[in-house]
Amino acid sequence: MRKKSKKTLKSRACPKLSHFLSVVHELRTKCPWDKKQTHQTLSKYMLEEAYEAAEAMNARDREALQEELGDVLLQVALHSEIANEKGWFDFEKVAEGVAQKMIRRHPHVFGDAEMKDYETHLKNWTKLKQQEKPKKKILEGVPRSLPALQVSQRYGEITSSVGFDWKSAQAVMGKVKEELNELQAEVRLKNSKSRMEEELGDLFFSLAQLARHLGLDAERSVRQSNIKFSKRFEKLESQLKKKGKTVSQCKPEELEAAWQLVKKS
C-alpha cells in the first residue's frame, strides 16, 4: 500500500503557486495582449482549454494532462486577476470559496453525517444546493452551453436525486423504443422538419438516460464512436488512394464493400 506523504498540499504548493500568480500579475501589467483581455474575450479560451484537458484525460496521456491542467489553471488565475483589478475578488477568495462550498456539501467527510452510497450522496448534494440557494430552480445550475448530450445526462442525474426517474435500464429501453417508433412515424408520414426534429431530440434525450442507467457517459460514448468512424474512414480513403481512386469517384456499392473490409480489418 502506498504511504501517504507527510507534506500537505499547502506546504508543497504555496511557494510555486505564489510564483505562478506573480507571473500572471506581470502578464497583466506588461504584456499588450494580456492587458487587453476581459472576462468576455477570455471565455472562449476557458472552454477550449477545458476541452483540451478532457481530451488528454480520455487519451490517458499523463504529460498532456499535466500541461492542459496548467492551461486551465492559467485561465482561472487570469480571470481572478482581472476581477481583483476591479475590486471584486482575488484568486485566494476563489480558492477559499470553493473549499468552503465543498466542506458544506460533504458533511459525511467534514462532519458527523453518514453516507451509505453514491446515490445517497447525490440526493444529499442536491438537497444541500437547494438549501444554499432556495430561490434557484433544481435544473438551473446546468449550463445550457454544455454539449447537448451532457446536459441531458446531467438533467437525468439531478432529477433522479429528487426521485424523478425510471426504475431500471430496462424501463428506459422501453422509452427509447417508444421514441424511436414516434420518430419513424413522423418520417413515414413525411411531416414537417420541426416535428421530426422534436422526435429525434426526444430519442437522443432517452438514449442519454439509458447511458446513465447503464453507468455510461453518453457524451463519451458518442465521442468514441466519432473517433472510431474517423479512423475507419481515413483507412478507407487510404485504401482507395492505393487503387488510384478517391471516395467521390466510387459508386455507393463499391464504397460499401470497401467499408465492410475496413471494419473486418
| Tens-digit pLDDT string for the chain (265 aa) | 444 444 444 545 588 999 999 999 999 999 999 999 999 999 999 999 999 999 899 889 999 999 999 999 999 999 999 999 999 999 999 999 999 999 998 988 898 888 777 777 777 777 777 788 877 888 988 888 889 999 999 999 999 988 999 999 999 999 999 999 999 999 999 889 999 999 999 999 999 999 999 999 999 999 899 999 999 999 999 999 999 999 999 999 999 999 999 999 8
Sign of CA dihedral 39, 42, 48, 50: negative
What would the grid cell of residue 91 be?
484568486
Model confidence pTM above 0.95 = no
**CB 115 within 8 Å of CB 108:** yes
Sole residue written with cell 472576462:
39
Expressed as residue numbers, the domain containing 190 is 118-131+149-218
> Are 187 and 122 in the same domain?
yes
**CB 125 within 8 Å of CB 105:** yes
12 falls within a domain: no
- Nearest by Cα to 34 from 66, 74, 94: 74
> Are 211 and 237 in the same domain?
no
Q: Is 58 left (phi over 0), alpha (psi -120 to 50) or beta?
A: alpha
CA distance readout (Å), 181 to 78, 131, 186, 214: 50, 41, 9, 22
61 falls within a domain: yes
pLDDT of res. 131: 80
Q: What is the DSSP letter of 196?
A: H
- φ, ψ of residue 134 in degrees (nearest 5): -60, -25
205 falls within a domain: yes
pLDDT of res. 3: 46
**CB 152 within 8 Å of CB 204:** yes
Q: How many domains does the structure of the chain reveal?
A: 3
| Residues 6 or more apart whose Cβ sits within 8 Å of residue 221 | 211
Q: What is the DSSP letter of 4?
A: P
Q: Which residues of 156-185 are buried (b: 16+ CB within 10 A; e: fewer)?
A: bbbebbeeebbeebeebbebbeebbebbee
CATH of the domain at 153: 1.10.287.1080
109 falls within a domain: no
20 falls within a domain: no
